[in-house]
Structure 1
Amino acid sequence: MDGTQAGPERSRGEQIEAAEREAAKLRLLAQAEADRIPVEETTRAVPERRWRHEQ
């Protein structure tokens, strides 16, 4: 065996740690989705303002 336990044999502490890791992963994924910029906004052409200043 590789030293990892699965199923009901896992200790309560290992179960809590696994649940905390999963919760942290879900929080990170939710935050990344909230911060995500849609592709449509990243490919939109925006005029370069510094060139206008020199006119």
Structure 2
Amino acid sequence: MGDDTSVRASGEQLQAAEREAAKQRILAQAEADRIPVEETARAVPERRWRRGQD
């Protein structure tokens, strides 16, 4: 039974490592896709200005 417990613990550690790696990939992708606040803040007044011209 001791071997079964060590195999289970090893499997859980592997799953935890895979989850952490997946989390890091998701965070890296989110950071790559992020739009800086400066760019979003500039876009809003331009749209409002155009509406006022119609």
Asked if TM exceeds 0.5, the reply is yes
CA RMSD of aligned residues (A): 1.9
Aligned to 1:6: none
Amino-acid identity (%): 67
Output the CA distance in 1 between the equivalents of 2:9 and 2:40: 47
TM normalised by structure 1 equals 0.64
The count of aligned residue pairs is: 43
- What residue ranges of structure 2 are gaps of 5+ in the alignment? 1-7
> What secondary structure does 1:46 align onto?
helix
Please state which structure has a larger fraction of its residues in helix.
2
Q: Runs (4+) of structure 1 moved beyond 2 Å?
A: 45-48
- Are 1:26 and 2:24 matched, yes or no? yes
CA shift, 1:51, in A, is 7.3
Tell me the TM-score normalized by structure 2. Answer: 0.66
1:1-55 equivalences under 5 Å are: 11-44=9-42, 45-47=45-47, 48=50
User: Does 39-48 or 24-33 show the bigger shift?
Assistant: 39-48
